[in-house]
Amino acid sequence: MSQVASATLFLSDLHLTPERPGPAESFRRFLDQKAIHAEALYLLGDLFEAWVGDDDLALPFHTEIAADLKRVSKSGVPVYFLPGNRDFLVGPDLARAAGLILLEDPTLIDLYGTATLLAHGDAWCTDDAHYQALRAQIREPAWRADFLDKPLAERHAIASALRERSELAKAGKRPEIMDVNPEAIAAAFRRHGVSRIIHGHTHRPARHSHNIDGHPRERWVLPDWYDLSGGYLACDDTGCHAEAW
């Protein structure tokens, strides 16, 4: 029943929203059936399609997800959350309600003896200059404070306009522009001295082999849960493997 008993699980890009209940149902089953037996659970960003402030916890859809997550940590499984580009405004109230341990992007962990760098992944999409400029702007503490000061409905309207603009911009960009940049990845491997990176964001699940400075290294890209074909990465002391859900 618990073949993942001693595994650490990684997920990202669930993009949960009340408008698409399928992935939320699937995620709820994952939490109850899989995550609860894990050694630890890591959520590497874009858990939500949009998170415009912790006061949005009042939405029943959000309250329920927070409660579902809280059951996992209450059962003794630490649940870590690293913010994505859609939910970088997750704060201490949601963390408390959902039992999340908040992580910086990127975060270095010792994963069964292997130094592993965790990130959402969007910071490495450096070919997309337009996106990086927007990313820098909305992560300014002043922008953040100003945004969180606005009424909830206005924040939702702004977030939805930003998403629409991003979808329009994507349609005019070559696909490789929206993937991570190989030089940025090589720099991250070197800078953090790791042999493994796990990230999401690009929705291009894969295991990439890298040889950097004569050392073999691996990079796992997590799948998204947009439709019902989600998945996760399970790691233990023998290594990591991708699992469908």
Cis peptide, bond prior to residue 21, ω within 30 of zero: no
Phi/psi at 107 (nearest 5 deg)?
A: -130, 135
Strand, helix or coil for residue 209 = strand
Instruction: Rank residues 34 and 86 by Cβ distance to Mn ion and give the closer one.
Output: 86
224 counts as binding Mn ion under rule CB under 5 A: no
Q: With contact defined as beta carbons under 8 Å apart, do 10 and 233 qualify? A: yes
Interface positions, 77-106, toward Mn ion (CB under 5 A):
84-85
* Nearest C-alpha neighbor of 81 from the set 64, 104, 58: 104
The token pair at 186 is 């090589």
Instruction: Rank residues 84 and 205 by Cβ distance to Mn ion and give the closer one.
Output: 84
Least distance to Mn ion, CB of residue 84, Å? 4
Interface positions, 149-178, toward Mn ion (CB under 5 A):
none
Residue 60 CA to residue 68 CA, distance in Å, equals 12
Interface positions, 14-73, toward Mn ion (CB under 5 A):
46
Instruction: Rank residues 30 and 88 by Cβ distance to Mn ion and give the closer one.
Output: 88
| Residue whose structure tokens are 């039992």 | 99
202 counts as binding Mn ion under rule CB under 5 A: no
Q: Which residues contact 178 (CB under 8 A, 6 or more apart)?
A: 125, 127, 128, 131, 170, 202
Least distance to Mn ion, CB of residue 225, Å? 12
Instruction: Rank residues 99 and 121 by Cβ distance to Mn ion and give the closer one.
Output: 121
Of the residues 201, 203, 217, 219, which one makes contact with Mn ion according to CB under 5 A = 201
Instruction: Rank residues 46 and 49 by Cβ distance to Mn ion and give the closer one.
Output: 46
Residue numbers at the binding site for Mn ion (CB under 5 A): 46, 84-85, 201
